[in-house]
Chain A
Amino acid sequence: MNNIVRDTPLPQAGKAVGIETLGMTMRFGSFTALDNVSIRVPAGSFHALLGENGAGKSTLVKCIMGFYHATSGSLSVDGREVSVASPKDAATYGLGMVYQHFTLVPSLTGAENLVISRTAVPSVINWAKERKDLAAFMERMPFQIPLERPVSELAAGEKQKLEIVKQLYLGRSFLVLDEPTSVLTPAEADEMLGIVRGMTERGELTVLMISHKFHEVTKFADAVSILRRGKLVGTGKVGELSTAEMAAMMIGDVKLAELDSRLPVAEEAKSVLKVEQVKAPDRSGLKTIEIDSLTVRSGEIVGIAGISGNGQKELTEILAGQRPTDRGTVTVNGESYGATRPETRRNNVRFIPEEPLQNACAPKMTVSENLAFRTFDLKSDGKDAIWLNKGEMKKRASSLISDFKVKTASSSSPIAALSGGNVQRAVLARELTGDVDLLIVSNPCFGLDFSAVAEIRARIMRARNSGTAVLLLSEDLDELLEMSDRIMVISEGRLVYETPIRAADIGVIGAHMAGHH
């Protein structure tokens, strides 16, 4: 039993610990978030935890990690019951967690982040020695991360890797990974999970991974536990459960919205969005974004694949008129487009950025007000309105809320009170009503649960089928393969590869994403 905090990074000498929860229950007031959940994760195993958003996955791991104190139930580490009152206690037992959201200090470098994360940092740090130790440590790590650059300059994928490396550096021997691959390329994800899996097989590490991706679960995990509405609804060896069975357990008897059957893109479909010879500086100002030619035709979904941080954000900013360009043209329906309100309105352009609460909503304004962002300054006859029509706003909001099944206590609740899926539904309700010529969407399903994802994809597909030109930027390759008519790969600010969906090969796309072209 190793009950002291291991400050020195010794992942190779690490010995995996197993954990077990017994009747773990967590109540918040009258709401039961976790109901009598018992799972066993033996030492050296790779255990997956499946469930929709709100199924209790986070609550369970937070109880294990000492963020929450379970209302009842107990936790054992290596067969001995322990009381984990805080994350610090959890660390004592070698339990660590990699969060979906980053916990690194943006202004510090990777190396500094690693060193300061230790429990006992010396008051005077001998950086020369630390660098040497870190270099030796990184030799053993499968990830290539520039440790001397500030974390704020790293792309999301690199940050996520650094988070995992940090836990290993701290010598944790049981890791909770919360959707760890959501920002990685398939190749990177496979590599990372493969290495983590290798460590579990060698008995150095135990992993409990929260995931939404079945292929990851079936490929890497030994066993799986499935939660629904706070209850454990199924558990078993991965080989013994089919994906269909897992999905059924996860979502219960909810019927998923199905994608519209796909009409082929008409030969004569007109080009709606045309980007030509555009050049602009990227967010660091050191590199440039150069889009030679990008066309999206009516009734077509063009998917842009790429590892995060390769220019997707800049491309969307250029299209939204938020990033000045050095040269080149953006045209919509044949006329020059600068994303002003009149241009957007005339050409029926709609924009759904990633993380809609942060980028497309005013969090403290009400649902009804947020739903009116696009139309508040128009009268019903289409003329400019000076006075707000609050009655009309409310009426329109209630019809959109019911059409798009937005779950909200009332239309006067602040939109920040809604869950992620419902914020996204509200934004879709706002942007997908009326005629839409061009829809620009970025990571529309990031962090959403199963049924919300299916429904949102179906909405986008329906828009496509009715003639909307859709530009879909996504870090989720499965999503792109499912949705797109054509896929383009963005790498280091350039579109480097294009393929029609029929000829798409995930290996080739992955290679281009990773920079081999």
Chain B
Amino acid sequence: MTVEANDPGLSVAAGSGASLRPLLEWLARRAEPVAIGLVAILIGLALFSLFILAIGKSPITLFQLMYTGGFGSWFSIQNSLSRAAPLLLTALCVALPARLGLVIIGAEGAVVLGGVAAAASAMPFVGIVPPVVLFLFMGFAAAVVGGIWIGFAGFLRHYRGVNETISSLLLAYIAIALMNQFVEGLLRDPASLNKPSTKPLPKDYMLGQIPGMDVHWGLVIGVVACILSWVLIEITSFGFAARIAGGNVRAAQIQGLPVGKLIVGFTAIAGGFAGLAGMIEVAAVQGSANASLAAGYGYTGILVAFLARHNPLAIIPVAILLGGISASGGLIQRRMGLPDATVLVLQGTLFIVILFCETFYGRFKIFNPDLWKRS
């Protein structure tokens, strides 16, 4: 990835007619995050290969298995998509505040509390209302609780000057403790012996599969949430105001924009999405709220959001990619005798490399039309 290698393209850009130039500029600006993201993934995979070599295994076999386990068959693709569903929502919980300049890493807290709220709100209505209405209740309760949780981190940030990264992380620990408190006490189903859980949803009250696929509806909810978020951020005036505040809070204040409301509003929406992820885990996967809710989706969401550069549409492919990587964990464990956590090492490596590659932005002439020769 050198500037020289790209130079032929550059001279074409500079030499072609004036009518082509706007298109080339547009392409160049869009290509930068894609190219740098891909390079980051390649570097991450190379470092991970060294790690695999160091423990005496073949990285090639591992990558083949990873492909097979994640995307090699219709079965594994469906598995990957199912795992991507909650990641779409937790990634939004990181990406939306990030557009306002906030680094929120506590989506996990909103996921578990959203799950508990969904399970609790379902209990009185099971068997009374039709499933669709029940899902609306559950989704609403989960989104509200998740929204309050992350919105509170935003509130502390703006009105009390508390660092939102730390507060959202600490709030996540509190949330997990609260969940344990609820599922082991007030909301515990007496029938759950080894694993304290809330009362499971009956089979016909589970969020079902998308017709023709072995993937639950959570995927659709996640994709719709990503599209709505993109619309909110990119083409509404609220999103534009948020981007101004994220780009320079002083400039936003001087324009009289309500920065505090924007911060609380966007963090609340973000938390609402993470809460929905918890509801989906309960309604589509677990059937009840229990300690399995804290499965790390909130943390993997951070990786997805950063890799997607906080662009809600880019979150969709990235979440599917990361879903695939985690789906292949089981296969790698069985075939290569490596621990399940191997994929976590890969995720961690990728994250570090992605943060490192942030420094590449603006360094390459090919992506920066401002440095091109005037034609």
Q: Flag whether B241 is at the interface (Cβ < 8 A).
A: yes
Chain B residues positioned under 8 Å from A386 (CB to CB): 236-238
A412 partner, pick from B25, B236, B240, beta carbons under 8 A: B25
Chain A residues positioned under 8 Å from B374 (CB to CB): 409
Q: Flag whether A360 is at the interface (Cβ < 8 A).
A: yes
Closest B residue by C-beta to A360: B251
Interface 0/1 of B231-259, CB less than 8 Å to A: 00011111111011011101101111110
Contact (A388, B236) CB under 8 Å given A412-B25, A413-B370:
yes
When the two chains form their complex, are residues A413 and B369 in contact, meaning their CB atoms are under 8 A apart?
A: yes
User: In the complex, A68 Cα to B23 Cα: how many Å?
Assistant: 36
Contact (A362, B251) CB under 8 Å given A340-B256, A341-B258, A412-B29:
yes
For the complex formed, measure the closest distance between the CB of A428 and the CB atoms of chain B, giving whole angstroms. Answer: 14
Q: Flag whether A500 is at the interface (Cβ < 8 A).
A: no
When the two chains form their complex, are residues B248 and A320 in contact, meaning their CB atoms are under 8 A apart?
A: no
Residues 299-331 of A at the B interface (beta carbon under 8 Å): 320-322
User: In the complex, A386 Cα to B236 Cα: how many Å?
Assistant: 5
Contact (A376, B240) CB under 8 Å given A321-B253, A412-B29:
yes
When the two chains form their complex, are residues A359 and B251 in contact, meaning their CB atoms are under 8 A apart?
A: yes
Closest B residue by C-beta to A427: B251
Q: Flag whether B74 is at the interface (Cβ < 8 A).
A: no
When the two chains form their complex, are residues A390 and B235 in contact, meaning their CB atoms are under 8 A apart?
A: yes
Q: Flag whether B125 is at the interface (Cβ < 8 A).
A: no
User: In the complex, A374 Cα to B257 Cα: how many Å?
Assistant: 10
User: In the complex, A321 Cα to B252 Cα: how many Å?
Assistant: 12
User: In the complex, A390 Cα to B258 Cα: how many Å?
Assistant: 22
For the complex formed, measure the closest distance between the CB of A375 and the CB atoms of chain B, giving whole angstroms. Answer: 10
For the complex formed, measure the closest distance between the CB of A429 and the CB atoms of chain B, giving whole angstroms. Answer: 15
Kindly state the interface size class of chain B when it binds its partner.
Answer: 20 to 34
Q: Flag whether A410 is at the interface (Cβ < 8 A).
A: yes
Interface 0/1 of A342-378, CB less than 8 Å to B: 1111000001010000111111110001001110110
When the two chains form their complex, are residues A388 and B255 in contact, meaning their CB atoms are under 8 A apart?
A: no
B255 partner, pick from A364, A369, A373, beta carbons under 8 A: A373
B235 partner, pick from A322, A363, A388, beta carbons under 8 A: A388
A363 partner, pick from B247, B254, B256, beta carbons under 8 A: B247
When the two chains form their complex, are residues A343 and B256 in contact, meaning their CB atoms are under 8 A apart?
A: yes
User: In the complex, A275 Cα to B247 Cα: how many Å?
Assistant: 31
Q: Flag whether A256 is at the interface (Cβ < 8 A).
A: no
Q: Flag whether B360 is at the interface (Cβ < 8 A).
A: no
When the two chains form their complex, are residues A341 and B247 in contact, meaning their CB atoms are under 8 A apart?
A: no
Chain B residues positioned under 8 Å from A359 (CB to CB): 248, 250-251, 254
Chain A residues positioned under 8 Å from B238 (CB to CB): 386
When the two chains form their complex, are residues B369 and A409 in contact, meaning their CB atoms are under 8 A apart?
A: yes
When the two chains form their complex, are residues A341 and B255 in contact, meaning their CB atoms are under 8 A apart?
A: yes
For the complex formed, measure the closest distance between the CB of B110 and the CB atoms of chain A, giving whole angstroms. Answer: 27
Chain A residues positioned under 8 Å from B244 (CB to CB): 362, 365, 373
For the complex formed, measure the closest distance between the CB of B33 and the CB atoms of chain A, giving whole angstroms. Answer: 13
Chain B residues positioned under 8 Å from A374 (CB to CB): 255
Q: Which of B29, B243, B246, B255 gathers most chain A CB within 10 Å?
A: B255
User: In the complex, A364 Cα to B26 Cα: how many Å?
Assistant: 16
Chain B residues positioned under 8 Å from A342 (CB to CB): 256
Chain A residues positioned under 8 Å from B251 (CB to CB): 359-362, 373
Q: Which of B234, B240, B243, B254 gathers most chain A CB within 10 Å?
A: B254
Closest A residue by C-beta to B245: A362
Contact (A353, B254) CB under 8 Å given A409-B370, A413-B369, A417-B370:
yes
User: In the complex, A377 Cα to B257 Cα: how many Å?
Assistant: 11
Q: Flag whether A135 is at the interface (Cβ < 8 A).
A: no
When the two chains form their complex, are residues B243 and A365 in contact, meaning their CB atoms are under 8 A apart?
A: yes
Q: Flag whether A385 is at the interface (Cβ < 8 A).
A: yes
Contact (A320, B253) CB under 8 Å given A387-B237, A388-B237:
yes
Q: Which of B235, B246, B248 gathers most chain A CB within 10 Å?
A: B248
User: In the complex, A203 Cα to B372 Cα: how many Å?
Assistant: 49
For the complex formed, measure the closest distance between the CB of A319 and the CB atoms of chain B, giving whole angstroms. Answer: 10
When the two chains form their complex, are residues B258 and A412 in contact, meaning their CB atoms are under 8 A apart?
A: no
Closest B residue by C-beta to A342: B256
When the two chains form their complex, are residues A365 and B237 in contact, meaning their CB atoms are under 8 A apart?
A: no
Q: Flag whether A156 is at the interface (Cβ < 8 A).
A: no
Q: Flag whether A339 is at the interface (Cβ < 8 A).
A: yes
A320 partner, pick from B235, B254, B370, beta carbons under 8 A: B254
Interface 0/1 of B34-74, CB less than 8 Å to A: 00000000000000000000000000000000000000000
When the two chains form their complex, are residues B236 and A387 in contact, meaning their CB atoms are under 8 A apart?
A: yes
Chain B residues positioned under 8 Å from A390 (CB to CB): 235
Closest B residue by C-beta to A377: B237
Q: Which of B29, B247, B372 gathers most chain A CB within 10 Å?
A: B247
Residues 334-360 of B at the A interface (beta carbon under 8 Å): none
B240 partner, pick from A321, A339, A388, beta carbons under 8 A: A388
Chain A residues positioned under 8 Å from B237 (CB to CB): 376-377, 384-388
User: In the complex, A414 Cα to B370 Cα: how many Å?
Assistant: 9
Chain B residues positioned under 8 Å from A344 (CB to CB): 255-256
B256 partner, pick from A321, A364, A410, A414, beta carbons under 8 A: A321
Residues 1-44 of B at the A interface (beta carbon under 8 Å): 22, 25-26, 29
User: In the complex, A383 Cα to B256 Cα: how many Å?
Assistant: 17
When the two chains form their complex, are residues A412 and B26 in contact, meaning their CB atoms are under 8 A apart?
A: yes
* Shortest 7 CB-CB contacts between residues of A and residues of B: A362-B247, A341-B256, A377-B237, A409-B370, A344-B256, A362-B248, A417-B370
- Could you pull out 12 A-B pairs where Cβ atoms are within 8 angstroms? A320-B254, A340-B256, A341-B258, A342-B256, A358-B250, A359-B251, A362-B246, A363-B247, A387-B236, A390-B235, A409-B372, A413-B369
- 5 new A-B contacts, CB < 8 A, other than A322-B250, A376-B240, are A360-B251, A376-B241, A377-B240, A387-B236, A388-B236
